Amino acid sequence: MRRREFIGLVGGAAMVWPLAARAQQPPIPTIGFLSAVSEGSVEHQAATFRRGLNEAGFVVGKNVAIEYRWADGQYDRLPAMAAELVRRPVSVIVAQAPPAALAARTATTTIPIVFVVGFDPVAAGLVASFNRPGGNATGMTLITGPLGQKRIELVRELAPKAVAVAMLANPFSPDAAPEIRDV
């Protein structure tokens, strides 16, 4: 091998090496963030979520990506959005609000789902039990039924002569019926 051929070979390898090294890096994990509401209504919560990721060492755009899906209160859009995240595919789905959690659970049995709901996730079929959720879903529940009863007690103390008390509930939300029943 002549000197010029050797230099050409080494130079060519030096140019291809960085490309090969970049090509071998795995893609960064992607979090699917599925929300039943609008982006503006939970902007603070989404910022807190990203800050928590940063504190855990996950920097958006550097070593993790987030794909947001906002249903803007149109729950009928959630199944298609959840299916889209599954096809993407994402590494985990964060489901904010009960309708999003149920849509994600229907869309996949393999991608991990982390949810925040306001009803009993066992009764809703999201998890098998509180102690051993099983399956691919886990999360946090804000069971508010007993709080509704306490609110009625407070109203009675503040307005003992009140004859009627109204309760506002979203009839399309899966947590409405149990909450109304509990109150």
- For residue 97, give the amino acid letter: A
Q: Say if residue 173 is in the same domain as residue 128.
A: no
Mean pLDDT of the chain: 85
Q: Say if residue 84 is in the same domain as residue 152.
A: no
Q: Say if residue 75 is in the same domain as residue 108.
A: yes
Average pLDDT over residues 49-53: 93
What is the torsion angle, in degrees rounded to the nearest 10, for the CA atoms of residue 105, residue 106, residue 109 and residue 113? -20
Residue 32 has pLDDT above 50, yes or no: yes
What is the CATH number for 80? 3.40.50.2300
Q: Say if residue 102 is in the same domain as residue 178.
A: no
| pTM, two decimal places | 0.74
Give the number of residues written for the chain.
Answer: 183
- As for how many domains the chain has, the answer is 2
Structure token pair of residue 24: 């071998």
Residue 90 has pLDDT above 80, yes or no: yes
Cross-sheet strand order for the sheet of 65-70: 65-70, 30-35, 92-96, 113-117, 137-141
Structure token pair of residue 182: 């509990």
Q: Would you say residue 24 lies in a domain? A: no
Q: Say if residue 47 is in the same domain as residue 115.
A: yes
- Domain of 112 in residue numbering reads as 30-141
Residues of the chain above pLDDT 70, percent: 85
Q: Say if residue 108 is in the same domain as residue 166.
A: no
Q: What local confidence, expressed as pLDDT, does residue 18 receive? A: 53
Q: What local confidence, expressed as pLDDT, does residue 146 receive? A: 72
Q: Would you say residue 14 lies in a domain? A: no
Q: Would you say residue 149 lies in a domain? A: yes
Structure token pair of residue 93: 């789905």
Closest listed residue to residue 182, CA positions, set 138, 152, 160, 140: 152
Q: Would you say residue 103 lies in a domain? A: yes
Average pLDDT over residues 101-125: 91
Q: How many CB atoms lie within 10 A of CB 50?
A: 17
Q: Say if residue 75 is in the same domain as residue 152.
A: no
Q: Say if residue 65 is in the same domain as residue 131.
A: yes
Q: Say if residue 40 is in the same domain as residue 66.
A: yes
Q: Say if residue 68 is in the same domain as residue 39.
A: yes
Q: Say if residue 52 is in the same domain as residue 119.
A: yes
Cβ(122)–Cβ(139) below 8 Å = no
C-alpha to C-alpha distance for 87 and 10, rounded to whole angstroms: 42
